[in-house]
Structure 1
Amino acid sequence: MKELVILSAMLMAAFPATAQDDPEVDCENPVTQMEMTYCAEQDFAEADEQLNAQYKVTRQAMKDWDGDAMDGLGSAADALLASQRAWLAFRDAQCAFYGYQARGGTVEPMLIYGCQAELTRQRTQQLKEQTDLMGGN
């Protein structure tokens, strides 16, 4: 066992980890499954950035709304937080379920990322609509 630990340490020292740049992939025309999965992941990351930006706007709007609301009616900001937490759990569970159609295959991660991107864009739109309804920006 001790020899295995020493061998592992020697191998790690011989092959230092290097920072890898993002692969050069044309997401307008991905060819391999790895490229398609990479592009789906990038699409989800972009959708997630947009969601986070909209969430900040919506949260501030709900805090402003709370400042104008009568006492004892609850907090829109707290309701938003509870809703967002529940939605995140739903999104992740739903997309894991969606991925089961290709369970264990190389397509599964692409399906999950695609599902996450789609549901995330829908949620961003829901938050924007709620912000607009309640007098936010």
Structure 2
Amino acid sequence: MRAAAPAIGLLLVLATSAFAQEPEVDCQKAETQMDLNICADREYQAADADLNKTYGKAIAAMRETDKELGDIDAAYVGAVEALKKAQRAWIGYRDGQCELAGFEARGGSMEPMLVSGCLAELTRKRTAELKELLEAQGN
């Protein structure tokens, strides 16, 4: 029995990694609901990566703003905290709004696509807002 334990463990690891791999899907030709769900999630993941990159730049710009304003008067500092507060509030809004969007197909195979599509759309909009903030700061 002891000799079988490592073999069973190896089989479990291999089976888990096989299930964890996303199937190859050509999103330009997606037809099945599973493929559409996968593609919608990919779209959201790409939008989220862009948002995270832009948010990092916005935080850096707000740190610079706080530094410049702090040199004038310490009471003017707070841009970083304001951005963090706004981002936390936006995340709550996004998550709630997209959960609501899923109710159009609640419990159905289309629900993940609707939620991911909403997440992608709102995330792209938020990224655009942060890019506007950066442009206003001269970045």
- TM-score by length of structure 1 reads 0.86
Residue 51 (structure 1) aligns with: 51
Query: How far apart are the structure 1 equivalents of 2:92 and 2:29?
Result: 32
Any idea what the Cα deviations from partners look like across 1:42-74, whole Å, max 9, x if unmatched?
000000000000000000000001111132124
Is 1:16 the counterpart of 2:12 in the alignment? yes
Unpaired stretches in structure 1, ≥5 consecutive residues: 1-9
**Following superposition of structure 1 onto structure 2, how do residues 40-79 of structure 1 map, counting pairs within 5 Å?**
40-69=40-69, 70-79=73-82
Is 1:82 the counterpart of 2:78 in the alignment? no
Residue 6 (structure 1) aligns with: none
Residue 4 (structure 1) aligns with: none
Residue 92 (structure 1) aligns with: 95
Residue 34 (structure 2) aligns with: 34
Query: How far apart are the structure 1 equivalents of 2:13 and 2:74?
Result: 56
Query: How far apart are the structure 2 equivalents of 1:22 and 1:100?
Result: 25
Query: How far apart are the structure 2 equivalents of 1:97 and 1:43?
Result: 19
Query: How far apart are the structure 1 equivalents of 2:65 and 2:37?
Result: 41
Structure having the larger proportion of residues in helix: 2
Query: How far apart are the structure 2 equivalents of 1:100 and 1:74?
Result: 42
Report how far residue 128 of structure 1 moved. Answer: 0.6
Unpaired stretches in structure 2, ≥5 consecutive residues: none
Query: How far apart are the structure 2 equivalents of 1:132 and 1:36?
Result: 35
Query: How far apart are the structure 2 equivalents of 1:124 and 1:112?
Result: 18
Report how far residue 110 of structure 1 moved. Answer: 0.5
Residue 137 (structure 2) aligns with: 134
- TM-score by length of structure 2 reads 0.85
Given that 2:63 and 2:80 are in contact with CA atoms closer than 8 Å, whether structure 1 keeps it comes out as yes
Residue 116 (structure 2) aligns with: 113
Query: How far apart are the structure 2 equivalents of 1:93 and 1:74?
Result: 31
